[in-house]
Structure 1
Amino acid sequence: MNIKIIGVGKLKEKYLKQGIAEYAKRLDSFCKLQIVEVTDEKAPEKLSDAEMIEVKRKEGERILAKIKAKEYVYALAIQGKQRASEQFAAEFDQLTTYGHSDITFVIGGSLGLSPEVLQRSDDQLSFGKLTLPHQLMRLVLIEQIYRAFMINEGSPYHK
């Protein structure tokens, strides 16, 4: 199985890099993990609606360029479907059972994802209504992916 995480912007914080590296190492025995960073669009602090749309469009183009046609895509979005870890693990297991061996997760930049990326996604995943930094979401996501494998394996990790 191939899992790709596409994130907007470069990860700078050492503690996040270390956490992600730890879970990436743990995932080695379950899948081939690829983390792809696309450049975030430089923008001033205060943006008009039109400028926000343009920033998301440009970042969206960069994201879409990293997604192949055969990949099953989860877009992380506040308006997406919330799931319990067990439900996510079961869905994850079903995807592989039905021939989806290339699964991609997309985390947008600080403004979110463009409509084009949301349209390309096969599913939208929400981790709740809380606003979290998109860099922190990478760590949260990779831990949940690892947790899904542990649940499906019957491991006590999830308890």
Structure 2
Amino acid sequence: MKIHVIAVGKLKEKFWVDACAEYVKRLKAYAKVTVQEIPDRDPAKSGGEEGARRIEGKGILEALPEHSHVILLDVGGKQLSSEGIAARMDALMLSGVSDITFVVGGSGGVSRGVYDFADEHLSFGKITLPHNLARVVLLEQIYRAFKISRGEPYHK
């Protein structure tokens, strides 16, 4: 299984970097995991919010691996429990999907092109998370999903 995370913005604070690195390390027992950062754009220098989303979106679309199942983190997406995420990933794998890409947009969201390209939209609820925290939560939930699917202790 290959898991890709494409995220807009660079993790600047050490605690975010360390948290993500810890979950990527834990995930190595279950999947090949890559995390790719797309530079975020200043709307004031990119023709406004829409211009920033368009430029970031182009970077996201160019970074997507071919033939990968794309899941966009989206506040309006489907809300799943941790068990639901595990079941969804299991269903994808059982259907022959061996490559999943999760996309974490920037603070201004994603372009219409990225939104429409995604195979699925996943929400962590109606709350707004900083994209740095959303990346940590995503990696933790992917790790938790593998643990749940294998019946291993971790999920309580």
Please say whether Structure 1 and Structure 2 have the same fold, judged by a TM-score greater than 0.5: yes
State the match for 1:37 in structure 2. 37
Runs of 4+, deviation exceeding 6 Å: none
State the match for 2:118 in structure 1. 121
Q: Secondary structure at the match of 1:156?
A: coil
State the match for 2:61 in structure 1. 64
State the match for 2:27 in structure 1. 27
Using the size of structure 1 for normalisation, the TM-score is 0.94
| Identity between Structure 1 and Structure 2 (%) | 48
Segments of 5+ residues of structure 1 without an aligned counterpart are none
Q: Counterparts of 1:128 and 1:44 in 2: how far apart (Å)?
A: 29
State the match for 2:128 in structure 1. 131
Segments of 5+ residues of structure 2 without an aligned counterpart are none
Q: Counterparts of 1:115 and 1:43 in 2: how far apart (Å)?
A: 16
State the match for 2:50 in structure 1. 53
AA matched with 1:14: K
How many residue pairs align between the two structures?
156
Q: Counterparts of 1:68 and 1:32 in 2: how far apart (Å)?
A: 13
State the match for 2:140 in structure 1. 143
Query: Are residue 98 (structure 1) and residue 95 (structure 2) matched?
Result: yes
AA matched with 1:102: D
Q: Counterparts of 1:87 and 1:129 in 2: how far apart (Å)?
A: 17
Describe the superposition over 1:93-143 as per-residue Cα deviations: whole angstroms up to 9, x where unpaired. 111111111100000000011111011100000001111110111100000
| Contact map agreement 2:43 2:51 (CA 8 A) in 1 | no
